[in-house]
């Protein structure tokens, strides 16, 4: 199930963002926000009580107008204020159902966007921590880590028994998608590590064991093979922020604002009441 | 680290999803807007609440200072005026005696009841103008629905003139308006609510005729009778039919022949003229109807809306926006009614009402008041002549459908009125319900078994329609009485009464046959609006519901009658001859009982615009349908076979209105012009000298309880 979802969402976002990899990340973010805005408008338009929302919004507007129309009538204005608050609560209630329905696809969208916008690839010569989380005592394990020629393992493994964790520091030497190979109990699997890259690069921060929620949260690489005593291999990439006219912001804020703007701009065109 | 941040964010998001507002910010534009809007609303309300609380003492002080002149003199806190257009005293008496009007009877017994003298002529726009100004027509300039253009002899609306914007910017094929269209109200003098407003007494005035365009004053007003539809007319309905037999020119509406192809009708809605184009053309909206004969329903697709109508049902108000170009849309609302699916498809659509939420023309004072009512109560009819009497007259609506539509409008007006009553702390809440007028116009024949209209057309109902109407109005009055306290005066009134309209008199034909009106050579009839009249040989002509004009030299473009003695002599001659007019088909009955010479009417600066003679028809008679529209033929008096079977455009002495109040009055002969000075006096304001009426009530608080 998780594989199907990840495949569907992963391929969709790959297709969507592939043409914009070489461009400023804002271009890709704008396109994604537009598509997300349209998608959500379509879903919202279908699952929400459009007439109910319009009726409640009209009531809010009416009572706001009352504040203006009856400004000399203290009783009317206090009643109007009460009614605005009452209908505002109703408005929020009207949005509960679409909110709960949309939260699932939107979490999946946000996970995908985090792959593209959440992290910065290593620069050549830059080092990063690599963590392997095991489900057994790491001091008793024969686990080893090997790097492809474009990487250099700078430190011997640091085994932290209490965390069931083994850490290395790895340096990126050459640009490209490099590979780390983890060998344990006679089996091997790889974890990709991105050095340099285009302005918009998909980065898998972790490869995880085949558990449903973990797979959904780390969808870019296949699961760690079964019967391997490793839960997760994680690379602690530096976070990436969007920059606009010198102002830096988390990508989710940019996404929120842009999708809101597109949603607002297009709701009339699609006849959706929000 | 970063992954943990994301996880935390997502976990937070899920957790917040259990709370309505903040989570929405994270799940896209739809719910994000909910959060943003709610937050904005809360912020705005809190801001306004704080501002309102802080400003309140100052406002109170200011209001107290401004009202210092009338403080202490006011005998009442509130006046509720229920205007029941056309309520007939003899019917009120009858139903009251039968115990069917308990609330009006209570007013009558504990307060006062009287016939209310009406204006000359007894026509709603004239009478309600006198109601609001306290003056005779010579001072307010309204003498009929129609006035005439002395240059062309064509009719003009007497109430308002809608012009074009003064400044436009030519841009390609467009003429972009840079100013609003000029709308000039033609009713003169000052309504009482303006005077109250000047004394800081707040009024809410709903649907009173002749309040379009709405005038600025300290209060709220929603325009009534004479407010136009989107096409600029006084109400043009639409009737779509596959029955070509029914397609003919209809009064008050347009018949649109349609064809069903593969179960689908493809047609259009004719909208307003696009004055933004250099070459003005009508804007049309495509209308697609899928006819389902098996289910007896129609699926309608118009202006991006799809809805299904079962046979015999009305749609809700549908918003129809007509694109004028450059992204500008002209908003209207309309309701649809499918009257028949097979063998013929027939669908009625109401006139295109100006959308009160986005009014193309101002409908209220302040402008946002119509918007407010629309947001609060939903879309509502804005057309002045709201109830579609012509659609019933012309068979586009059945009697049942007409009543359903009429009472639906009435219900909206009641909701507006009670909203106004609830908001009135001190001042006037007044509403005119034209329901009484419309239903009596169309169903009066059921009270008159010999009415010609009963011989043909629709007559599936009974006199119970009128009885139900009166009991419903009594119930309305009862609910208003429940809202009154000891310092509330209730006035229930009508502008005129009602009589059966059996026979139509074409005065233009009479003038022609008696040598006062001439037709062009070779013609023995004239089409409407005097098309074939030879003005160079015509001495007099009739226009509108009760007006007769001399073709006076120097006033009319091709006048031949000299002002002064010749005019006076001609009027005298006409009065003598026309009051002798007998209906030979009806035992020589008198058709005209009184003719009022303009020179004998109460003076006023606009009396010169009145008809030279105002015709007072006898009971049972009225200006004929042809005569009203300036048609000339050889038939002077004929049967009125239309459903429109009751009328009041007769001798005013025969159709007084009603006056009920929870207070005693000091007159046995109250007149409609007395209402305005009464209201002013009750609030401690001396009526201005231009008012002809006199106060009907003592200024001291009466002993009668507000509950009547």
Together in a domain, B264 and B213: no
Q: Are A102 and B30 in contact (CB under 8 A)?
A: yes
Given A41, A78, A118, which is nearest B2 (Cβ)?
A118
Instruction: Please tell me if residue B306 touches chain A, with a CB cutoff of 8 Å.
Output: no
| Residues of chain A found within 8 Å of residue B25, distances taken between Cβ atoms | 256
- What's the mean pLDDT in B417-435? 97
Tell me: pLDDT of B24 over 90: no
Q: Is residue B333 part of a domain?
A: yes
Residues A87 and A175 grouped into a single domain? no
Statement to judge: residues A77 and A149 lie in one domain: no
Give the C-alpha separation, B706 to B503, whole Å.
Answer: 44
Distance (Å) of CA B564 to CA A71, B554, B569: 57, 12, 9
> Tell me, what's the pLDDT at B706?
35
CB neighbour list of residue B479: distance below 8 Å, 6 or more residues apart:
B418
Q: Could you tell me which chain B residue has the CA closest to the CA of A103?
A: B27
Q: With H, G, I as helix, E, B as strand and everything else as coil, classify residue B582.
A: strand
- Asked if A69 and A24 sit in the same domain, the reply is yes
Q: Which residue of B has its CA nearest to A70?
A: B423
The arithmetic mean of pLDDT across residues A167-173, rounded, is 95
Whether B242 is in a domain gets the answer yes
B10 and A110 within 8 Å at the Cβ level: the answer is yes
Helical (H) or strand (E) element with B91: helix B89-97
Cis omega before residue B213 (within 30°)?
yes
Residue contact A95–B375, C-beta within 8 A: no
Q: β-pairing, B646-647 with A187-195?
A: unpaired
Same domain for A188 and A178:
yes
> In this structure, are B519 and B557 located in the same domain?
yes
User: What is the rounded CA–CA span in Å between residue B432 and residue B672?
Assistant: 14
pLDDT score for B34: 63
Report the range of poorest mean pLDDT among A185-189, A268-272, B411-415, B472-476.
A268-272
B588 touches chain A (CB under 8 A): no
pLDDT higher than threshold 70 for residue B201? yes
Q: Which of B336, B347, B350, B144 is nearest to B229 (CA)?
A: B350
Evaluate whether residue A143 is within a structural domain.
yes
Bond before B483 cis per omega within 30 degrees: no
Contact B34 A263 (CB under 8 A): no
Q: How far is CA B318 from CA B279, B381, B650, in A?
A: 29, 11, 39
Alpha helices in chain A (DSSP H): 2-17, 25-47, 50-69, 74-94, 96-117, 212-217, 251-267
Residue B524: CA count within 13 A, CB half-sphere: 3
Mean pLDDT of A45-70: 91
Cβ proximity of B669 and B657 under 8 Å: no
pLDDT at residue B705 in the model = 35
Decide if B368 contacts B356 (C-beta within 8 A): no
Per-residue pLDDT band at B189 (split at 50, 70, 90)? very high
Distance from CA of A217 to the nearest CA of B (A): 8
Nearest to B272 by CA among B361, B380, B170, B389: B361
Choice among B160-164, B184-188, B214-218 with the minimum mean pLDDT: B160-164
Instruction: Write out the two tokens for B507.
Output: 């005065």
Residues of B in contact with A76 (CB under 8 A): 423
Q: Is B164 left (phi over 0), alpha (psi -120 to 50) or beta?
A: beta
Residue B28, class by beta-carbon neighbours within 10 Å (0-12 exposed, 13-18 middle, 19+ buried)?
Answer: buried
Q: If we measure between CA atoms, which residue out of A43, A64, A71 comes closest to residue B37?
A: A64
Q: Which pLDDT score, from 0 to 100, does residue A7 have? A: 87
The beta strands (E) that lie in A136-246 are given as: 144-147, 151-153, 158-160, 165-172, 176-184, 187-195, 206-208, 230-235, 238-239, 242-244
Per-state percent for chain B, helix, strand, coil, to nearest 5: 30, 25, 40
Last residue of a domain, one of B330, B353, B376: B353
Pick from B10, B27, B44: CB nearest A102: B27
Mean pLDDT for the stretch of residues B657-675: 97
Residue A79's CB is within 10 A of a number of other CB atoms, namely: 16
- Say yes or no: A229 and A259 in one domain: no
Cβ distance B26 to A43 less than 8 Å, yes or no, reads no
Same domain, A164 and A263: no
Q: A272 in a domain, yes or no?
A: no
* Cα of A182 vs its chain's centroid, Å: 27
Q: How many domains does chain B have?
A: 4
Asked whether residue A60 is assigned to any structural domain, the reply reads: yes
Question: Nearest by CB to B23, which of A76, A99, A238?
Answer: A99
Say if residue B387 is in the same domain as residue B423: yes
Confidence of residue B707 (pLDDT cuts 50, 70, 90): very low
Contact A118 B45 (CB under 8 A): no
Q: Which contiguous run of DSSP H or E holds residue B265?
A: strand B264-274
Q: Is the pLDDT of residue B702 over 60?
A: no
CB A69 to CB B24 under 8 A?
no
Residue B368 has φ and ψ, to the nearest 5°, of: -75, -5
Residue B155 lies in a domain: no
Q: What's the confidence (pLDDT) of residue B17?
A: 42
Terminal Cα distance for chain B, rounded: 78
Q: What is each CA distance from B488 to A70, A138, B173, in whole angstroms?
A: 20, 89, 58
Q: Do B612 and B702 fall into the same domain? A: no
Angle at B566 between CA B561 and CA B569, to 5 degrees: 120
Report the alpha-carbon distance of residue A196 to residue B375 in Å, rounded: 57
Across B39-122, the runs of DSSP E, i.e. the strands, are: 78-84, 112-116
Q: Is residue A258 part of a domain?
A: yes
Specify the range with the lowest mean pLDDT, choosing from B192-206, B215-229, B239-253: B239-253
Structure tokens at B163: 């012009």
Contacts of A67 in chain B (CB under 8 A): 45, 48, 52
B144-162 burial: b if 16+ Cβ within 10 Å, else e: bbbbbebeebebebbbbee
Give me the CATH number covering residue A150.
Answer: 2.60.40.10
CB B448 within 8 A of CB B644: no
Indicate if A146 and A98 belong to the same structural domain: no
Closest Cβ opposite residue B34 in set A71, A95, A272: A95
Average pLDDT, chain B: 90
A89: DSSP letter: H
Give a yes or no: residue A136 inside a domain. yes
What is the percent of chain A where pLDDT is above 90? 49
Residue A92 and residue B26: Cβ atoms within 8 Å?
no
Q: Tell whether A47 and A72 lie within a shared domain.
A: yes
Same domain flag for A113 and A125: no
Same domain? B296 vs B390: no
| Within a domain: B43 | yes
| pLDDT at position B15 | 42
More confident residue, B155 or B428: B428
DSSP labels, B423-486: H-SSEEEEEEETHHHHHHHHHGGGG-TT-GGGGSS---S-THHHHHHHHHHHHHHHHHHHT--T
Across B662-689, b (16+ Cβ under 10 Å) vs e yields bbebeeeebbbbbbbbbbbbbbbbebbe
List pLDDT tens digits, range B365-380. 999 999 999 999 999 9
Q: How far apart are CA B276 and CA B641, in angstroms?
A: 43
Type and span of the H or E element at B676: helix B675-682
Q: Chain B: give the shortest CA distance to residue A249, in Å.
A: 14
pLDDT tens figures, B635-651: 999 999 999 999 999 99
What chain A residue is nearest to B25 in terms of C-alpha separation? A256
Alpha carbons B494 and B658: distance in angstroms, whole number: 5
Distance CA(B187)–CA(B346), nearest Å, equals 40
How many residues in chain A? 274
Reported residue count of chain B is: 708
Indicate if the pLDDT at residue B72 is higher than 80.
no
Helix residue ranges, H only, B352-443: 367-377, 389-393, 399-423, 435-443
Q: Is B375 on the interface with A (CB under 8 A)?
A: yes
Q: Nearest-CA neighbor of B438 among B480, B472, B477?
A: B472
* Region B162-189 average pLDDT: 86
CB A229 within 8 A of CB A7: no
For residue A227, with 0-12 CB atoms within 10 Å meaning exposed, 13-18 middle and 19 or more buried, which class applies?
Answer: exposed
> How high is the pLDDT of residue A267?
82
Task: With respect to residue A49, please indicate whether it lies within any of the assigned structural domains.
Answer: yes
Does some domain include residue B140? no
In a domain, B265, yes or no: yes
Among B3, B17, B41, beta carbon nearest to A84: B41
The answer to whether residue A28 is domain-embedded is yes
- Residue B31's pLDDT is what? 57
Any A CB within 8 A of B220 CB: yes
Read off the pLDDT of residues B527-586 as tens digits, 9 standing for 90 and up: 999 999 999 999 999 998 999 999 999 999 999 999 999 999 999 999 999 999 999 999
B215 and B237 fall within a common domain: no
Structural domain containing residue A190: 120-238
pLDDT at B141 over 90: yes
Q: Are residues A124 and A219 in the same domain?
A: yes
DSSP state of B654: G
d(CA A115, CA A221): 11
* Nearest Cα residue in chain B from A238: B2
Query: In chain A, which residue's Cα lies nearest the Cα of B48?
Result: A67
In which domain, by residue range, is B255 found?
A: 230-353
Task: Answer whether residue B389 shows pLDDT above 70.
Answer: yes
pLDDT of residue B701: 45
The β-bridge partners of A131 are: A167, A234
**Total count of domains within chain A:** 2
Task: Please indicate, yes or no, whether residues B199 and B245 belong to a single structural domain of this protein.
Answer: no
Q: Which helix (H) or strand (E) holds B324?
A: strand B318-325
- Please count the residue pairs, one from chain A and one from chain B, whose beta carbons lie less than 8 angstroms apart: 171
Residue A273 lies in a domain: no
What is the arithmetic mean of pLDDT over B466-472? 98
pLDDT at B244: 84
Is position B181 within any domain?
no
Q: What is the mean pLDDT of residues B605-622?
A: 96
pLDDT at B457 (0 to 100): 64
- Token output for A117: 């916008």
Do A125 and A112 share a structural domain? no
For residue A66, pLDDT over 50 is answered with: yes
List CB contacts (< 8 A) between A264 and chain B: 29, 33
| Pair B113, B124 in one domain | yes
Taking residues A142-150, what's their average pLDDT?
93
**B20 pLDDT more than 70:** no
Say if residue A104 is in the same domain as residue A158.
Answer: no
Task: Tell the burial category of A19 from Cβ atoms under 10 Å away from its Cβ (0-12, 13-18, 19+).
Answer: exposed
Assess contact for B106 and B112: CB atoms under 8 A.
no
What are the angstrom distances between the C-alpha of B24 and each of A12, A102, B4, B134? 24, 10, 22, 58
- Bridge partners for A238 per DSSP: A120
pLDDT tens digits for B162-173? 888 888 888 888
Residue A12's alpha-carbon distances to A8, A19, A113, B53, in angstroms, are 6, 12, 11, 55
Picking from B5, B63, B375, the nearest residue to A58 by CB comes out as B375
Tokens 């749609």 sit on residue: B315
Q: Is the pLDDT of residue B431 over 90?
A: yes
> How many CB atoms neighbour CB A26 within 10 A?
17
Q: Look at residue B442 and tell me if it is in a domain.
A: yes
Give the range with max mean pLDDT: A9-23, A107-121, A215-229, B298-312: B298-312
């Amino acid at each position: 199930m998780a594989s199907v979802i990840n495949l569907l969402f992963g391929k969709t976002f790959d297709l969507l963002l592939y043409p914009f990899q070489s461009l400023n990340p804002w271009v890709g973010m704008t396109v994604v926000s537009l598509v997300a805005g349209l998608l959500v408008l379509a879903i919202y338009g279908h699952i929400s009580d459009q007439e109910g929302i319009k009726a409640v919004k009209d009531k809010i507007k009416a009572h706001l107008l009352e504040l203006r129309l009856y400004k000399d009538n203290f009783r009317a204005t206090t009643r109007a204020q009460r009614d605005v608050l009452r209908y505002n609560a109703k408005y929020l209630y009207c949005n509960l159902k679409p909110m709960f329905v949309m939260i699932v696809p939107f979490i999946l969208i946000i996970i995908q966007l985090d792959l593209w916008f959440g992290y910065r690839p290593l620069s050549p010569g830059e080092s990063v921590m690599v963590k392997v989380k095991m489900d057994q005592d790491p001091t008793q394990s024969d686990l080893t880590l090997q790097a492809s020629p474009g990487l250099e393992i700078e430190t011997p493994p640091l085994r932290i028994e209490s965390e069931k964790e083994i850490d290395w520091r790895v340096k990126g030497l050459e640009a490209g998608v490099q590979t780390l190979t983890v060998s344990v109990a006679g089996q091997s699997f790889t974890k990709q590590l991105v050095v340099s890259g285009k302005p918009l690069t998909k980065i898998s921060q972790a490869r995880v064991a085949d558990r449903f929620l973990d797979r959904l949260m780390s969808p870019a690489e296949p699961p760690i093979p079964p019967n391997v005593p490793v839960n997760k291999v994680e690379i602690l990439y530096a976070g990436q922020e969007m920059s606009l006219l010198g102002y830096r912001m988390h990508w989710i804020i940019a996404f929120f604002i842009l999708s809101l703007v597109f949603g607002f701009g297009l709701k009339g065109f699609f006849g959706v009441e929000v | 680290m970063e992954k943990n941040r994301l996880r935390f964010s997502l976990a937070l998001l899920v957790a917040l999803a259990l709370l309505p507002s903040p989570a929405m910010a994270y799940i896209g534009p739809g719910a994000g807007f909910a959060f943003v809007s709610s937050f904005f609303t809360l912020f705005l309300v809190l801001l306004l609440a704080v501002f309102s609380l802080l400003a309140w003492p100052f406002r109170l002080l200011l209001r107290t200072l401004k009202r210092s002149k009338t403080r202490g003199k006011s005998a009442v806190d509130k006046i509720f005026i229920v205007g029941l257009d056309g309520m007939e005293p003899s019917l009120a008496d009858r139903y009251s005696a039968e115990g069917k009007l308990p609330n009006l009877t209570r007013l009558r017994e504990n307060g006062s009841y009287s016939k209310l003298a009406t204006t000359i002529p007894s026509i709603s726009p004239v009478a309600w103008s006198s109601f609001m100004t306290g003056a005779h027509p010579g001072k307010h300039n309204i003498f009929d629905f129609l006035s005439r253009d002395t240059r062309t002899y064509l009719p003009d609306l007497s109430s308002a003139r809608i012009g074009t914007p003064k400044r436009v910017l030519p841009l390609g094929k467009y003429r972009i308006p840079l100013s609003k269209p000029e709308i000039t109200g033609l009713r003169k003098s000052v309504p009482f609510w303006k005077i109250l407003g000047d004394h800081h007494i707040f009024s809410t005035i709903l649907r009173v005729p002749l309040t379009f365009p709405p005038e600025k004053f300290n209060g709220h007003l929603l325009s009534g009778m004479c407010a136009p539809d989107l096409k600029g007319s006084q109400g043009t309905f639409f009737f779509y039919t596959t029955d070509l037999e029914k397609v003919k020119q209809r009064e008050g509406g347009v018949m649109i022949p349609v064809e069903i192809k593969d179960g689908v009708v493809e047609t259009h809605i004719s909208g307003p003229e696009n004055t933004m184009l250099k070459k003005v053309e009508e804007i049309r909206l495509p209308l697609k109807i899928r006819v389902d004969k098996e289910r007896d329903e129609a699926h309608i697709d118009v202006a991006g809306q799809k809805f299904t109508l079962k046979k015999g049902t009305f749609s809700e108000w549908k918003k129809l926006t007509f694109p004028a170009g450059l992204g500008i849309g002209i908003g209207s609302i309309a309701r649809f009614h499918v009257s028949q699916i097979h063998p013929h498809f027939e669908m009625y659509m109401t006139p295109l009402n100006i959308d009160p939420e986005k009014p193309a023309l101002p409908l209220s004072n302040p402008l946002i008041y119509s918007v407010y009512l629309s947001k609060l109560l939903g879309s509502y009819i804005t057309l002045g002549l709201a109830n579609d009497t012509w659609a019933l007259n012309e068979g586009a609506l059945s009697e049942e459908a007409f009543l359903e539509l009429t009472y639906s409008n009435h219900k909206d007006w009641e909701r507006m009125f009670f909203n106004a009553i609830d908001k009135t702390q001190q001042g006037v809440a007044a509403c005119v319900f034209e329901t009484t007028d419309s239903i009596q116009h169309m169903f009066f024949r059921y009270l008159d078994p010999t009415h010609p209209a009963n011989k043909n057309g629709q007559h599936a109902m009974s006199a119970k329609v009128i009885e139900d109407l009166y009991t419903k109005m009594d119930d309305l009055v009862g609910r208003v009485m429940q809202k009154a306290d000891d310092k509330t005066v209730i006035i229930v009134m009508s502008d005129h009464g009602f009589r059966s309209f059996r026979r139509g008199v074409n005065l233009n034909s009479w003038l022609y046959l008696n040598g006062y009106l001439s037709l062009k050579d070779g013609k023995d009839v004239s089409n409407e609006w005097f098309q074939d009249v030879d003005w160079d040989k015509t001495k007099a002509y009739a226009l509108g519901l009760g007006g007769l004009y001399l073709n006076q030299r120097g006033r009319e473009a091709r006048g031949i009658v000299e002002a002064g003695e010749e005019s006076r002599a001609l009027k005298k001659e006409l009065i003598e001859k026309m009051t002798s007019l007998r209906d030979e088909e009806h035992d020589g009955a008198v058709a005209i009982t009184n003719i009022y010479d303009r020179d004998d009417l109460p003076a006023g600066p606009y009396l010169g615009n009145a008809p030279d003679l105002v015709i007072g028809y006898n009971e049972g008679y009225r200006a004929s349908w042809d005569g009203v529209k300036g048609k000339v033929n050889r038939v002077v008096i004929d049967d009125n076979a239309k459903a429109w079977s009751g009328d009041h455009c007769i001798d005013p002495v025969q159709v007084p209105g009603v006056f009920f109040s929870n207070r005693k009055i000091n007159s046995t002969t109250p007149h409609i012009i007395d209402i305005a000075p009464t209201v002013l006096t009750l609030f401690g304001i001396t009526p201005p000298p231009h008012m002809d009426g006199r106060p009907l009530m003592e200024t001291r608080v009466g002993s009668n309880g507000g509950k009547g």
